[in-house]
């Protein structure tokens, strides 16, 4: 592999891992939010479909 090919592969893997991490966090956050919402609404006999999304804001130190 040349240096450029290696860098492209590293970038592709980085993007894939970032997307997988964000998808995993969204799944965990949605499950936890739905459980908390169900517990909060239970005394009132209400049900609610809870959806929550994770937003990540990143800042690069060396641009």
Q: How many domains, the chain?
A: 1
11-37 per-position pLDDT tens digit: 899 999 999 998 888 888 888 888 887
Count Cβ neighbours within 10 Å for each residue of 10-34 and write b for 16 or more, e otherwise.
eeeeeeeeeeeeeeeeeeeeeeeee
Domain annotation covers residue 63 = yes
Using a cut of 0.85, tell me whether the model's pTM lies above it. no
Alpha-carbon span 8 to 18, nearest angstrom: 15
Residue 11 lies in a domain: no
35 located within any domain = yes
Q: Is residue 43 one of the residues assigned to a domain?
A: yes
Where in the sequence is the domain holding 38, given as residue range(s)? 23-63
In a domain, 58, yes or no: yes
Higher pLDDT: 62 or 19? It is 19
């Amino acid at each position: 592999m040349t240096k450029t090919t290696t860098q492209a592969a590293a970038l592709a893997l980085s993007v894939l891992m970032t997307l997988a991490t964000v998808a995993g966090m969204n799944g965990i956050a949605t499950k936890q939010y739905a459980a908390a919402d169900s517990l909060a609404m239970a005394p009132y006999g209400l049900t609610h479909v809870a959806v929550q999304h994770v937003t990540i804001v990143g800042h690069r130190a060396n641009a």
